[in-house]
Structure 1
């Protein structure tokens, strides 16, 4: 099926009622609206209206991180379900251990519906409305029009790509939601060919029309090339993935920052950043406070003689923590700088009392399974190594809630994409993977295979929301092996054994998230749920 026919097919597809219900209630249609109301149809007929509409997409992108649902689950859920973490407690813990979010009718699936399914469909709907309006408007500056289209198409592609990777059975459309068609029924999922035809087309347009540089926080040609390389990997198009990644690395203005300590320093406005979600009121996206960082940091400040401080990660909530598998990967090279006080905090130090500056030694982990420590529970809660990537220098150390910039995509991943794509096609992957290792002070590798890539992505990108998708992309056997062998901390954290052990709870069909029944009920009677549910 060619692209033109695919687009015609997309136009014929109905639109999900949930999108409309998410934005406006049925009661709104029964209420008389004042004639002076300025709606989206009016706004999108002007150049300034279209530009404002694009800015709103940045706000919607951040909404998932700001949503307070279950300790800000939307910001950390994908990291909780991986082979690199154990989810200690809270509802996110239930989700990360595959105790919730594993049935279309459980509460976890309802949370996922709101935070991901509805969220991204709402974004695709708004992006599509902007795209269709911009394509029809007359008298607008051509460069402005192409900029609007490029940013809106990026966000539509980004949203559909996220939905596909999570739910698999999704539908895509290029039709704007209107009052007339909002209640049309979607009868079937889109084919993989249809999904990627639209995603690829949108990203290719964005690559062509976006500049390499723009105001901090806006998507650029580099952002679009990075995501296009990722989508190519999902299609097994290794030459396209290689070309996009290498082009971004060699032709763009981006470069790896000198040290791992620089990656998450300051406001993340540096040469490695490809997409940063901002939190300040006067910038794109605005945003509210989030507990993203707190979820990843232990409650070390509950120990007498140590107060919460930004250098050690801020005020933590101890929900999702790095497991032994990840910590052992980081420890393989003693010179690797990613393991302490850059990406992770391994040790804690007294800040008051008689032992200022000394290492905290109150609790002990289990190191001998035959002779477990008596206070391992407190160790996991208060002294366990933590991810500190999302602590920001101007955060309030006395609050779980902070307004911080979120680094979503960065060039280090582009290097690892290039290495994998070259490994699977033609060329020498070593310069690309070793650029990342050399920056971290680790010795270069001399050979590259799939496990080499998987391990290096773990060291460099852990807790950045990419791991689950990497495991799924590499296939059923890979995700089955990694989760059943490494998820959680097993016997070293007995609190998560039995029915709380993610290794035991994992089922192969969890490779796709369930479509919540509340969403499935709004689709056609034959719309397919993912296999296994």
Structure 2
């Protein structure tokens, strides 16, 4: 599965003092192995540059009822095949799972302080549990394999069969429960703590319709005190290592500027969802960090998402997005006769002007590059509140469900983390009020696709609201109906071939 041969194991060239034997046989080596998992997970969810890893992540962020596609591969279209889009998640996911299992297995024979060992193993297990939950959500039919690959077993015969749902969730729950038991709530930025472990355990419970377990896990994160809602301006501010963050991928160009180094490579996420004002035919704009600098304009928020906001009162419309009014953009080309005035009305070209996402805006990004080394907030407490609201509603506890829902909503309307203003509160919990508030708060944060799939609404809502415009114009904007089998992503054909084309995988493709 990982394209590794026994010869590669035997011919491994040792470039430094960190050998495989050292990692899997000593306390210090075990810590090195766990640290390496963080590097792999950062690449898995926050890769640098333009590659299939980026496309895989962008797909799940944008190919929902809230997205508008402009260019390259059209999600759900004729190119949606087993060789396209999200295959990187399958390959990378199982590769990291294999290394997690190696750490978990080898730790059993390492003589060291039990508490310290359990914390290291808990980090490997929360990552493995997270990845299996990811793969289950993405692909539906997946494999279970907790035996790490070694030189001794690399050529052993393997039977590739679709794992039963109950077996998959039993493994996920076991890994996450262990992590909850052994991780602290307060951890260093970028580390897995008990908060994110419980958040993931709650998500797993929702997939199993275990509302009691889900509510208990989300309640624990909310009430413990380590994590809390921050002011609206802080959520996606320049420093996202704040109380609301459950997990943040750390980036630092000074510590190395590639994915293999501690600092990580430059992320393109901020550029993906932003317009290119500097390409306007009027020639009034030059690349400016204030407007996002160099950009790509591949995907944008759509008009359906815009319609969900109270533009006048909901501050998220102003803070989470660049303005949709061209008069708010000022001519910045020095020497232009209209310098400092509002730009001219843009032509109908989405790449040059469209309502754009500001969540990944980086005030320190240079104007002539897509690269950003801003830390990437991946899980946050606002989602915990919203998922907790769903869990409590399903338990028949609508007062608590509304309390959690309105906690997030009040912050959106007042900007304050502690607001008690009830003017804009939702007074009746329905699926639509829940989905609408979730969209307003969490759009383009890698959760909408999975939420709609879990609720059985992905095909319907994507068909109703998702839009594509390959021409990049208003006239070219059309719907793109999704076929029912596409709720499960295609496993790469290369992987299917390696497995011997077993039954039950890639059904419909």
When the two structures are superposed, what TM-score results if normalisation uses the length of structure 2?
Answer: 0.89
Map Cα deviations across residues 310-359 of structure 1 (whole Å, 9 max, x no partner). Answer: 333332110010000001112x3520011124344434512344445544
Match of 1:157 among 129, 147, 171: 129
Measured at CA, do residues 153 and 29 of structure 1 come closer, stay the same or move farther in structure 2, by a change above 3 Å?
closer
Q: Structure 1 unaligned segments of length 5 or more: list them.
A: 1-17, 364-374
1:524 positional shift: 4.5
Q: Which residue of 2 aligns with 1:136?
A: 109
| In the alignment, structure 1 residue 362 sits paired with structure 2 residue 345 | yes
| In the alignment, structure 1 residue 461 sits paired with structure 2 residue 442 | yes
Q: Report the 3-state secondary structure (helix = DSSP H, G, I; strand = E; otherwise coil) of the residue aligned with 1:386.
A: coil
Map Cα deviations across residues 128-160 of structure 1 (whole Å, 9 max, x no partner). Answer: 11111112212x112210110111001101111
| In the alignment, structure 1 residue 52 sits paired with structure 2 residue 25 | no
Contact 1:171–1:190 (CA under 8 A) maintained in structure 2: yes
Q: Which residue of 2 aligns with 1:177?
A: 149
| In the alignment, structure 1 residue 383 sits paired with structure 2 residue 353 | yes
1:215 positional shift: 1.0
Alignment coverage as a number of residue pairs:
481
| In the alignment, structure 1 residue 449 sits paired with structure 2 residue 462 | no
Q: Which moved more, 1:417-426 or 1:350-359?
A: 350-359
1:302 positional shift: 1.8
When the two structures are superposed, what TM-score results if normalisation uses the length of structure 1?
Answer: 0.85
| In the alignment, structure 1 residue 407 sits paired with structure 2 residue 384 | no
Match of 2:184 among 211, 234, 239: 211
Q: Structure 2 unaligned segments of length 5 or more: list them.
A: 415-423
Measured at CA, do residues 445 and 354 of structure 1 come closer, stay the same or move farther in structure 2, by a change above 3 Å?
farther
Measured at CA, do residues 357 and 198 of structure 1 come closer, stay the same or move farther in structure 2, by a change above 3 Å?
farther
Q: Report the 3-state secondary structure (helix = DSSP H, G, I; strand = E; otherwise coil) of the residue aligned with 2:237.
A: coil
Map Cα deviations across residues 218-254 of structure 1 (whole Å, 9 max, x no partner). Answer: 1111011111111111111111111111111111311
Contact 1:186–1:527 (CA under 8 A) maintained in structure 2: no
RMSD across aligned C-alpha pairs, in angstroms? 2.4
Measured at CA, do residues 70 and 155 of structure 1 come closer, stay the same or move farther in structure 2, by a change above 3 Å?
closer
Q: Report the 3-state secondary structure (helix = DSSP H, G, I; strand = E; otherwise coil) of the residue aligned with 2:98.
A: helix
Contact 1:85–1:487 (CA under 8 A) maintained in structure 2: yes
> How far apart, in 2, do the equivalents of 1:200 and 1:71 lie?
27
> How far apart, in 2, do the equivalents of 1:511 and 1:130 lie?
33
Contact 2:70–2:468 (CA under 8 A) maintained in structure 1: no
Q: Which residue of 2 aligns with 1:79?
A: 61
Match of 1:40 among 11, 15, 20: 20
Measured at CA, do residues 514 and 59 of structure 1 come closer, stay the same or move farther in structure 2, by a change above 3 Å?
same
Contact 1:75–1:292 (CA under 8 A) maintained in structure 2: no
Q: Which moved more, 1:301-310 or 1:350-359?
A: 350-359
> How far apart, in 2, do the equivalents of 1:35 and 1:52 lie?
15
Q: Which residue of 1 aligns with 2:210?
A: 237
Q: Which residue of 2 aligns with 1:366?
A: none
Q: Identify, as 1 or 2, the structure richer in helix.
A: 1
Contact 1:301–1:382 (CA under 8 A) maintained in structure 2: yes
Match of 1:327 among 296, 306, 310: 306
Q: Which moved more, 1:388-397 or 1:452-461?
A: 388-397
